[in-house]
Structure formats: structure tokens, C-alpha cells
Amino acid sequence: MSGNVVYVGSKPVMSYVTAILTSLNDNPEGVTVKARGRAISTAVDAAEVTRTRFVTDLTPTVIIGTEKLPGEGGSTRNVSFIEITLSKSPEAKKPSGA
């Protein structure tokens, strides 16, 4: 699933929902939504809107953590990040009639 990543920033939530849906059309197996800092809440909102309103058979897997980024004066600062992988549920992959 490499290259199937949506990076979240400061755009409206529906912009990212559209990007997630486009990525899912290109690769139906799944998509990863990544964000850092203040964009984390937008990433969660975009993933949940996609999952509840548009593609209800997606299963989220969440990874959270902290990255050390260079700050002013040679110091480092901690920035939180989130990676939400939305993939098709195993039940959805079964062929119909099986």
C-alpha cells in the first residue's frame, strides 16, 4: 500500500474526505491518513466522516507517537503524530454467495 497516503494539513475536512475516497478508488485495499500537531483532529474527523458516511465497511488501525523536530536555537521540540490506516473489513472481502 505504499504511496497510498493522504497527508492532512489546514484545509477543510471534506477536502481530505475527497482525497481519501479518490485513494480508495485507486487502491481498494486501503489508505493511510497521516497528520502532525494541530492537524490530528482534522485527520480523525476526515477518517470518521469517510468511514461513517461513505464507505461503511472500513476498519481503522491507529498509530500514534511523537517526533523530535529541530527547533529554534539548536534545540528540539516534540510534535505528536497520528497514522490512521483505513482498510476493508475481512467480511467485505468474501465473494458474494460464499
What is the structure's pLDDT at 71? 87
SS3 content of the chain, % helix, strand, coil (to 5): 40, 35, 25
Sign for the CA dihedral angle at 35, 40, 44, 46 comes to negative
Residue 74, φ and ψ in degrees, nearest 5? 80, 5
Mean pLDDT of 7-15: 97
What is the structure's pLDDT at 1? 46
Domains and their CATH numbers in the chain:
5-89 (3.30.110.20)
**Total-model pTM:** 0.85
pLDDT digits (tens, 9 = 90+) for 16-67: 999 999 999 999 999 999 999 999 999 999 999 999 999 999 999 999 999 9
What is the structure's pLDDT at 98? 46
Give the three-class secondary structure for 90. helix
Find the distance separating the first CA and the last CA of the chain, reported in whole Å.
27
Instruction: Quote the CA–CA distance of 2 and 21 in Å, as a whole number.
Output: 16
